[in-house]
Structure 1
């Protein structure tokens, strides 16, 4: 069973909070499609909903933080003034960088297959705005999300992959996403 969420997506590396001020100045170089693909490859809980102003640059109001993995605390990525944080800027720069080189040809081939597997996915965002809901409704949703986390935990235990994420090197963010998305270490796409 896949994770149920306010903002879900089967697609983060935890990035430490920093006190630097956000730059919001560097050029946003990724297209929407590339942004969402690279976020998955880097195991970041990011999703670019839509390029509403058609400027080909992600804006805070076009951005969703996904629930279910990684650092999904909205305030770590967007300031109260609706600007990207320094933590977001750092993660964005990491998305522009290639992954570390493979240690051997077999690892290089495995990494290519993992990236191909992730590229075959077409994630869907399910987003709910609870800002106009009553506190009781919001509290009920919070309880349902906690139940979803518990169900996910039970499923991972039943499937036999509990604890496997801890065995994946931290630098293998694409491998971590594959495990999260497929709930197994194996490729399931038609090409892989």
Structure 2
């Protein structure tokens, strides 16, 4: 039987369709979901209660203070922290509404210190005892915050406050020089933060709290001198017995005993020089 061209076309088209249908249809790949930004991990700094945190901060000579647990969740939070002045270092604890990496590092160290103060391994028993006594000295004090907020003050008030803070530091430095503290401060081991804290608080190496003030082993430095030589008078004069009485009886005693002069030697003469 002869097939017309149209019949042959239809049969060929049908066969092609049948062959084509033998291959399974390729699945259309579903679009890859775009990665969503994961929420930042929230860390609760609740390993130390507030009293322990502030006590350890003093022992480690850290310029930080936990003001209060505002939401009573027993965890320190950025808005509850104050950075303290008049420390040898400055605190960098908060960035915006988060703690800094520096705070995270220090917090871990504070946890370890709270369990057992961190001392170098090669310390003698006597040195360990001295450092523990200094910590006991510090623990007899109660950390207290004097807080001022000048963020909403007029610009001229802020300038005034900056000048007053600078003046306060100069007065502290001058007082330290008058008491002859610089040579003694240099004797505090760098790895003894409690010694530095006690020395600064007590204006010298000797302990002054009720439980430790009479213990000669309690000192911010290994060998606390019986008498601290101040920078206001020549050293040889201070070593004389009753030198203050001698100065008072001096012909120029009133000027030599003035708190606003430094007494120097010019040959055998004592000369008062005004502090300017």
> TM-score, normalization: structure 1?
0.82
Which has the larger Rg?
Answer: 2
Structure 1 residue 140 corresponds to structure 2 residue 160: yes
The DSSP-based 3-state class of the residue aligned with 2:65 is strand
- Give structure 2 stretches of 5+ with no counterpart: 1-39, 213-276
1:189 to 202, 209, 212: 209
The DSSP-based 3-state class of the residue aligned with 1:164 is helix
Q: Is the 8 A contact 1:61 1:82 kept in 2?
A: yes
User: Matches of 2:137 and 2:101 in 1, distance apart?
Assistant: 31
User: Matches of 1:174 and 1:102 in 2, distance apart?
Assistant: 18
* Structure 1 residue 71, shift from structure 2 partner: 2.8
1:92 to 87, 107, 130: 107
User: Matches of 2:134 and 2:69 in 1, distance apart?
Assistant: 28
Name the residue aligned to 1:11. Answer: none
Residue 144 to residue 123, structure 1, CA distance change in 2 (3 Å): same
Deviations 1:124-155 (A, max 9, x none): 21111101101100000000000000000011
Q: Which runs of 4+ in 1 moved over 6 A?
A: none
Deviates more, 1:148-157 or 1:62-71: 62-71
What is the aligned residue count?
A: 168
* Structure 1 residue 166, shift from structure 2 partner: 3.2
User: Matches of 2:56 and 2:41 in 1, distance apart?
Assistant: 21
> TM-score, normalization: structure 2?
0.58
Name the residue aligned to 1:69. Answer: 87
Residue 158 to residue 34, structure 1, CA distance change in 2 (3 Å): same
* Structure 1 residue 102, shift from structure 2 partner: 6.3
Q: Report matched runs for 1:104-115 at 5 Å.
A: 104-115=124-135
Name the residue aligned to 2:73. Answer: 55
Instruction: Identify the structure with bigger relative contact order (alpha carbons < 8 Å, sequence gap 6+).
Output: 1
The DSSP-based 3-state class of the residue aligned with 2:160 is helix
- Give structure 1 stretches of 5+ with no counterpart: 1-21
User: Matches of 1:109 and 1:84 in 2, distance apart?
Assistant: 35
